[in-house]
């Protein structure tokens, strides 16, 4: 290979790599900065008693494995109060920002929050299905349960399969059996079996609790 050809190929490779980096930078979304929204959220909390305001703020900014539940809990506490709308909006935006990074647990919690209101329900179900497609157990469980809600035999078959799994889908299935045996719905009323399944769910929940971030 001649020297000139080597130089040409090296330049072409460099240009290709540079162009790829530029295109990748354009396609990637900037990191979410919720600083301004958080400031507005905190300002809206100022009218609350100090203890209550502090508790809500802690839920909004938590960063541990419970951060998803905390954001959803904050939203539930304040979503019906117009004066606290900035704080509720921050809780939703924070979950959405995490969901947009591919975090399936955030997707499920965002679905939960968004479907609490008719106006945002469609977006919520989109996040649920996306999380399910990415393999999130609880989301897959919820999608299948909804799809089979009018087909009791198939639903029972699906719940039986889910109840054998040691994940949040299995946990929900055990509670489903406990409820059905309690009310005598699809299954015959049986308080003993209801208590048995509820205890199994409790045991699985305790087993899964250290893995909360991987639900």
pLDDT digits (tens, 9 = 90+) for 85-127: 999 999 999 999 999 999 999 999 999 999 999 999 999 999 9
Structural domain includes residue 14: no
Residues 126 and 185 in one domain: no
Per DSSP, helices labelled H in 64-167 are: 67-78, 85-99, 104-114, 118-133, 137-147, 152-162
What's the confidence (pLDDT) of residue 175? 97
Q: Which of 191, 126, 199, 140 is nearest to 168 (CA)?
A: 140
Q: Does residue 4 lie in a domain region?
A: no
The answer to the question of residue 200 being in a domain is yes
What pLDDT is recorded for position 158? 97
The answer as to whether 205 is a domain residue is yes
Question: Helix 137-147 and helix 118-133: axis angle, to 10°?
Answer: 120
Both 131 and 146 in one domain: the answer is: no
Share of the chain above pLDDT 90, in %: 79
Would 129 be classed as within a structural domain? yes
What's the pLDDT at 185? Answer: 85
Say how many C-beta atoms besides its own lie within 10 A of residue 3's C-beta.
7
Domain stop point among 81, 100, 135: 135
Mean pLDDT of the chain: 88
Domain that holds residue 102: 35-135
pLDDT tier, 5 (very low <50, low <70, confident <90, very high otherwise): very low
Query: What pLDDT does 32 receive?
Result: 84
pLDDT value at residue 77 = 95
123/52 same-domain check? yes
Torsion from C-alpha of 125, 97, 23, 18, nearest 10 degrees: -150
107 inside domain: yes
What is the model's pLDDT at position 8? Answer: 43
Is 27 domain-assigned? no
pLDDT score, position 4: 55
Tell me how far apart the terminal alpha carbons of the chain are, to the nearest angstrom.
Answer: 56
Number of domains in the chain: 2
Shared domain for 168 and 208, answered yes or no, is yes
Q: What is the mean pLDDT of residues 156-172?
A: 97
Question: Which uninterrupted H or E stretch holds 21?
Answer: helix 3-27
In a domain, 1, yes or no: no
73 and 122 assigned to the same domain:
yes
For residue 215, pLDDT beyond 90: no
Q: Which residues contact 102 (CB under 8 A, 6 or more apart)?
A: 134
- Return d(Cα 57, Cα 40) in angstroms, integer: 12
Closest CA to 99 of 113, 88, 110: 110
Rounded to whole angstroms, how far apart are CA atoms 86 and 104? 25
Of residues 105 and 31, more confidence is placed in 105
What's the pLDDT score for residue 209? 82
Predicted TM-score (pTM) of this structure:
0.81
At which of 135, 168, 188 does a domain end?
A: 135
Same domain membership, residue 197 and residue 152: yes
Domain boundary among 102, 135, 168: 135
pLDDT digits (tens, 9 = 90+) for 36-88: 999 999 999 999 999 999 999 999 999 988 999 999 999 999 999 999 999 99
């Amino acid at each position: 290979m001649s020297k000139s050809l080597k130089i040409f190929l090296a330049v072409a490779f460099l240009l290709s790599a540079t162009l790829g980096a530029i295109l990748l930078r354009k396609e990637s979304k900037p990191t979410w900065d919720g600083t301004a929204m958080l400031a507005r959220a905190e300002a809206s909390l100022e009218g609350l008693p100090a203890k209550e305001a502090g508790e809500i703020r802690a839920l909004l900014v938590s960063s541990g494995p419970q951060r998803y539940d905390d954001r959803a809990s904050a939203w539930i506490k304040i979503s019906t109060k117009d004066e606290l709308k900035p704080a509720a909006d921050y809780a939703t935006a924070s979950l959405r920002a995490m969901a947009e990074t591919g975090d399936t647990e955030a997707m499920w919690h965002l679905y939960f929050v968004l479907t609490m209101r008719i106006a945002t329900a469609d977006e919520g179900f989109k996040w649920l299905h996306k999380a399910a497609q990415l393999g999130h157990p609880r989301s897959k469980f919820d999608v299948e349960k909804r799809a089979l809600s009018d087909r009791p035999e198939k639903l029972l078959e699906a719940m039986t399969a889910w109840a054998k799994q040691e994940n949040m889908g299995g946990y929900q299935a055990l509670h489903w059996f406990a409820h059905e045996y309690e009310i005598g719905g699809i299954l015959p009323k049986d308080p003993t079996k209801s208590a048995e399944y509820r205890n199994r769910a409790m045991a699985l929940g305790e087993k899964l609790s250290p893995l909360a971030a991987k639900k």
